[in-house]
Structure 1
Amino acid sequence: MNSSIKYWLYVGSVSLLFTACDSRLDVVPTQSIEQGQALNTEQDVQITLTGAYDGLNTSAAAQNGANLFGGAFQYIGDLLGDNRDVVFGGTYATIDEIWRKTVTTSNTVNRDVWLNSYSTINRTNNVLSALPKVSEANRGNIEGQARFIRGAVYFELVKLYGKSWNDGAPTANAGVPLVLTPTTSVSDADYRARNTVAEVYTQVLDDLTKAESLLPATQSGGTGFATKGAAAAILARVYLQQQNYAAARDAANRVITSGAYSLESNFTDVFDDATNDNELIFKIIITDQDGVNDMNTFYASVPNQGRGDVRVQSKFRQLYAAGDVRGTFFNTAGQNTFTSKFNDQYGDVPVVRLAEMYLVRAETNQRLNTSIGATPLADVNLIRNRAKAAPLTAVDLNAILLERRLELAFEGQQLADIKRTAGTVGTVAYNANNLVLPIPQREIDTNKKLVQNPGYN
C-alpha cells in the first residue's frame, strides 16, 4: 500500500452528510473509485483501507492542515495544555486561539479536525461493511487495521470534545456521536446525538482489543501500518486515561516483551527517518506527494523549512539536567528556540513509540506497588540512560511524571496527562470548560440533536 493514495469514496463527516453537496466533492480524483463500482472486490476494500490511512494524515478535505495524527491531534494536545512552556508566535489566529484557550465555535482548525475525523471513520466503516468481499486469508488483517484506525480516532475525539474520564460521571457526560456503519445517503436517522463518554470509551476498547487479536506482529509496509503492538500501545494509553492502571501496565508490558521493538541507542535517532523504525510502534508516513507534516510546519524553525511558530521557552528547557541530551535537542534561529524533533520537512510523524511504553509501565507499577516486567526505577533509568541523564537512585510518582514530560515533550500528550492526573494548566483546573473543544458551529447548525459543550455560546 502507498499511504499517499488520495481516496474519496464516501463523505464521512457528520456535517457533510447532513448538508448539500460541497462543491469540492464534485471533483472526482483520478485515484478514487466510482461509488457504483466500489467495494465489489478485495482490491476495492484494500484501496478504501488505504484511504482511511490517508485520512490520518492529509485528506482532500483538509483545507487548514488539520490532518489528525499528521499534526493536529498532537499540537492541539500540547498547545491547549501549555502554560507558556512555549509561545505561539505565528499568524494563524485559529491555532493562536487553541494556545490561548479561547477557541471559538467557528474555529476552522477545530471544524476540520471534526470533519476529517468523521470522514476517516466512515472509510473504516465502509471497509468493515465489505469484509465478506475479502479472502479469508486477508480478512482478519484488514478488519484489524480498520478497527485500529477507528478506535484510535474515536479516542482522540472523546478526549478533545468530551470531559475527562475522571471529571464527573462518564456514563452521563456527553462524548461524541458514534457512527459505526457506512453513511451513503441522508435521512432523519442519520442525525446522531452525542454518545456518552463511557459509551465512546467502550467502543474504543472494543475496536482496539479486537484489532490487537487480529493484527500480525509486523506489516510489509512497516510501522506506518497498524500492527498487534500498535493496537496494544494505544490500548495502554486508553487504559491509562481511564486510570485502569493494571490494564495499562499489562498492555504496555505486552508491547515491551513482544521483542518487536527496541530503543534507539541515541535519542536523536528517534526523529531520523533513516534510523528510527526500531523504536517507533506506529507513525504517519509523509511523502513528497503528501506535502509537509504539520509538526514541521509549526514546530520547526524557518531554516528547517518550518514557520517558526512554536517557540520553546527557557522555563521548559531548564527542566533538563546538565548532560541530558534531550535538553540540548533544540535549535536557535534569531532570538527564538525550537525543538529539533521535527526538523525534517518530509519526516514521518511519530504517533507512539517504545519509550512511552516503558514510562507507562513504570508509572502503573509505581501506582500499584508492583514490578511486572521491571521495577519502576529500572524502567525510568533505562530511558534516562539513553538520554545520557544521570541515573536516579529512587523514584516516586512525581519523578515518573516528570520523566514523561521530558521524554515526550511536543508529541501530543501534555493535555491528556494533565487531565488524567487532575492537574492544572497554570491556574486553570484540568476540568475547566475551555480545556474542552467546542462542537464546531456548523455541526450544531446542521444537526439539531447535538448539544454544545458548557462555556460556549
Structure 2
Amino acid sequence: MMWIGIFLWSLCCQSCTKFLDEKPQLSAATPDKEEDLRALLDFESQINLYYPGLIELGTDDYYLNNDTYNNMLASFQEAYRWDKEMITTDVAYWRACYNTIMIANIVLEGVERLQPIKNKDIEGEALFVRGLAHFYAAQLYCPLYNEVEDSPFGLPIRLTSDFNVPVTRATVHQTYKQIIDDIKGAIPYLRDQAAEINRPSKRAAYAALARIYLSIADYEQARYYANECLRINADLMDFNTIDAKLNYPITPKNVEMIYYGSTISGSAALNSSRARIPMEVYDLFDANDLRKLIYFKSVNATEYAFKGYYSGRSATYFAGFANDELFLIRAECNVRLGATEEALVDMNKLLENRIRKGSFTELKLSDPKDLLLFILNERRKEMLFRGVRWSDLKRLNLEPDHAVNLVREVTANGETKRYELPANDARYLYPIPTEVISQSNIEQNPR
C-alpha cells in the first residue's frame, strides 16, 4: 500500500497550490488493485470528516461571547458578521469538498479500468461520496434552487480526476441534476445497510436524497425517499435510557445512525469550548424534554454549550444521517401535502422517545398551519449542529410565515455594533475564495 502514502502526500501538496484546474502529480500513485480503491474510500479524514465548517458559521444556532469573538481569526469574524466583502474567506472549505470529489473520481476511474471487480459497493460508494460533496459545496456557493428560473451560478462540476480538463460553472439546475444523478446512481450498487457506519448504504442514499429534495422544496420526492429509508429501518433512541451526565451522551453507534459524517473545520469558533447557545434556543425545550439535559451543559450562570453531537464528540457539526431527521422530513412533507394524520403519527413517535417517561402527551394538532409550525420548531430543536440550519433558513425564508431576520451584536474595542442578515439577503450566497477565482477564471458570486 506504499502508493496510498504517495497519493496522500500528493493530495496535500496539490491542496496547498492549485486545486481546481491543475492536475495533481498522481502517476506514481494510480490505484491498480481493488483493495486500493477500498482503501481510498476508507480514507476517513477526507471521506467522513471533511465537511465544510462554514455551513454552520452563519447560523443562529449559536453565538460567540465578546472575548471569544475578539480572539477569533479574521475569517471567522467575517463569517460571523455576515460581511458582504469577506476578504479572508478560508479556501479550505472549498478545497475540502473538491479533494473529496477528486478521490471519488479516482475510484470511479479505477472501477472502470479494473473491471470486472468483485465488490460492487465500491462504485456505489464513490458515486454517493461525489454527489454528497457537490451538495455540501452547493449549500455554500450556489443560490437557492428555483424550479422555474435557473441561475448561472452553479458549481464547477468535476467528473474526472484529470485537472487538465477545463472547468466552468454549471447552472444551478445542472448542479442539482448531477448531485441527484450521482446519489440515485449509487443505489443499485449498495447494500441496505453497510457493515460500517462510515460507509455509504442504500439507507444513506435514501436519506441523502430526502435531505436534498427537502432543500429544494420538492416535498413529494423528499417524502418518497424518507419513506424508502425508514422502510429499511425506523428505530429511534429512547432518550430516557441515555446518561445525560456524560460529556457527550450520544454515541455514534446508536440505533438511529445511518451514515457517519462529521467535521472539525471551523471548530475554532464552533466547538463546545467556545460556541454558546442563545437563550431563545435553550428556552424552546420544556423541562420534561430530555434533549434539554442531553444536548446542553451549563458553562456558568448565564451561558450554555452544546454537547448533543451525534458524532459522540465535540465537532463543528454532525454531517451524517440518522433516523430522527427522516421522521422530521416525512412529517413536514406529509403536512405540506395534506396528510396531517400521517404527520402526527411520525411526530408522536419521535417525541415519545424524547420526553421524560410518564410526561409525554400525545400531540393532537389538527390545523395544518399550526402543525407545520410545530414540526418546523421541532426540526430546529432536534437538528441543532447537524449542518442543516443554513439550508433550512434559505428555503424557509421564501415563506413569509417562517422567514427569519438574523441579528448579532458584537462589542469590540469598547464599541458595540449590530449586524443583520435579512431573509433572502444575497449574503446567503458565500463568495468563492479569491484563490479559486484567480486560478480558474470562473465567475464570482454576486453578494
User: Normalising by structure 2, what TM-score?
Assistant: 0.81
Corresponding position of 2:8: 7
Quick check: 1:418–1:425 contact (8 Å CA) kept in 2? no
Quick check: 1:355–1:383 contact (8 Å CA) kept in 2? yes
The 5 Å alignment of 1:151-166 reads 151-166=131-146
Quick check: 1:331–1:340 contact (8 Å CA) kept in 2? yes
Corresponding position of 1:208: 183
Q: What SS does structure 2 have at the residue aligned with 1:424?
A: coil
Indicate how the Cα distance of structure 1 residues 347 and 420 shifts in structure 2: closer, same or farther if over 3 A, else same: closer
Task: Confirm whether residue 113 of structure 1 aligns to residue 93 of structure 2.
Answer: yes
Task: Confirm whether residue 282 of structure 1 aligns to residue 253 of structure 2.
Answer: no
Quick check: 1:269–1:276 contact (8 Å CA) kept in 2? no
Task: Confirm whether residue 391 of structure 1 aligns to residue 362 of structure 2.
Answer: yes
Correspondent of 1:332 among 295, 298, 306: 298
String of CA shifts for 1:217-272, please: whole Å, max 9, x gaps: 2223x11111110011010011111211111001001111112x511111757964
User: Which runs of no fewer than 5 residues in structure 1 stay unpaired?
Assistant: 26-33, 59-66, 286-291, 302-307
Indicate how the Cα distance of structure 1 residues 277 and 298 shifts in structure 2: closer, same or farther if over 3 A, else same: farther
- Write the distance in 2 (CA, Å) between the matches of 1:436 and 1:183: 28
Corresponding position of 2:410: none
- Write the distance in 2 (CA, Å) between the matches of 1:167 and 1:98: 29
Task: Confirm whether residue 129 of structure 1 aligns to residue 109 of structure 2.
Answer: yes
Q: What SS does structure 1 have at the residue aligned with 2:391?
A: helix
Corresponding position of 2:152: 173
Indicate how the Cα distance of structure 1 residues 223 and 410 shifts in structure 2: closer, same or farther if over 3 A, else same: same
- Write the distance in 2 (CA, Å) between the matches of 1:134 and 1:12: 27
Indicate how the Cα distance of structure 1 residues 348 and 93 shifts in structure 2: closer, same or farther if over 3 A, else same: closer
The 5 Å alignment of 1:35-434 reads 35-51=27-43, 53-57=44-48, 67-68=50-51, 72-73=52-53, 76-82=54-60, 86-87=63-64, 89-90=68-69, 91-102=72-83, 104-109=85-90, 111-134=91-114, 136=116, 138-166=118-146, 169=149, 171-183=150-162, 186=164, 189-190=165-166, 192-220=167-195, 222-259=196-233, 261-266=234-239, 268=242, 272=249, 274=251, 276-284=253-261, 293=264, 298-301=269-272, 308-328=273-293, 329-334=295-300, 335-342=302-309, 344=313, 349=318, 351-370=320-339, 375-388=342-355, 390-394=361-365, 396-421=371-396, 422=398, 423-426=403-406, 428-434=421-427
Quick check: 2:318–2:387 contact (8 Å CA) kept in 1? no
Indicate how the Cα distance of structure 1 residues 126 and 103 shifts in structure 2: closer, same or farther if over 3 A, else same: farther
- Write the distance in 2 (CA, Å) between the matches of 1:180 and 1:350: 23
Q: Percent identity?
A: 25
- Write the distance in 1 (CA, Å) between the matches of 2:377 and 2:314: 29
String of CA shifts for 1:71-119, please: whole Å, max 9, x gaps: x34xx3333132x75336342332222221116444353x111111111
354-363 or 135-144, larger mean C-alpha shift: 135-144
Quick check: 1:147–1:207 contact (8 Å CA) kept in 2? yes
Structure 2 counterpart of 1:312, one-letter code: I
Shift of 1:136: 4.0
- Write the distance in 2 (CA, Å) between the matches of 1:156 and 1:294: 14
Quick check: 2:131–2:183 contact (8 Å CA) kept in 1? yes
Quick check: 1:12–1:121 contact (8 Å CA) kept in 2? no
Indicate how the Cα distance of structure 1 residues 218 and 133 shifts in structure 2: closer, same or farther if over 3 A, else same: farther
Quick check: 1:154–1:204 contact (8 Å CA) kept in 2? yes
Indicate how the Cα distance of structure 1 residues 273 and 333 shifts in structure 2: closer, same or farther if over 3 A, else same: closer
174-183 or 88-97, larger mean C-alpha shift: 88-97
Give the total of aligned pairs. Answer: 404
- Write the distance in 1 (CA, Å) between the matches of 2:93 and 2:221: 29
Quick check: 2:298–2:305 contact (8 Å CA) kept in 1? yes
- Write the distance in 2 (CA, Å) between the matches of 1:300 and 1:156: 20
String of CA shifts for 1:42-67, please: whole Å, max 9, x gaps: 1222223234x431455xxxxxxxx3
String of CA shifts for 1:16-54, please: whole Å, max 9, x gaps: 354698xxx9xxxxxxxx633522221222223234x43
Structure 2 counterpart of 1:80, one-letter code: G
Quick check: 1:167–1:431 contact (8 Å CA) kept in 2? no
Q: What SS does structure 2 have at the residue aligned with 1:331?
A: strand
Q: What SS does structure 1 have at the residue aligned with 2:8?
A: coil
String of CA shifts for 1:324-354, please: whole Å, max 9, x gaps: 1122331122352101124735999452110
Quick check: 1:272–1:347 contact (8 Å CA) kept in 2? no
Q: What SS does structure 1 have at the residue aligned with 2:42?
A: helix
- Write the distance in 2 (CA, Å) between the matches of 1:16 and 1:367: 42
String of CA shifts for 1:360-402, please: whole Å, max 9, x gaps: 000111111137xx71011112121111154321152111111
String of CA shifts for 1:105-147, please: whole Å, max 9, x gaps: 44353x1111111111011111111113446453521011001
Quick check: 2:271–2:316 contact (8 Å CA) kept in 1? no
Structure 2 counterpart of 1:278, one-letter code: V
Task: Confirm whether residue 16 of structure 1 aligns to residue 19 of structure 2.
Answer: yes
- Write the distance in 2 (CA, Å) between the matches of 1:104 and 1:172: 22
Indicate how the Cα distance of structure 1 residues 18 and 207 shifts in structure 2: closer, same or farther if over 3 A, else same: closer
The 5 Å alignment of 1:418-457 reads 418-421=393-396, 422=398, 423-426=403-406, 428-448=421-441, 450-455=442-447
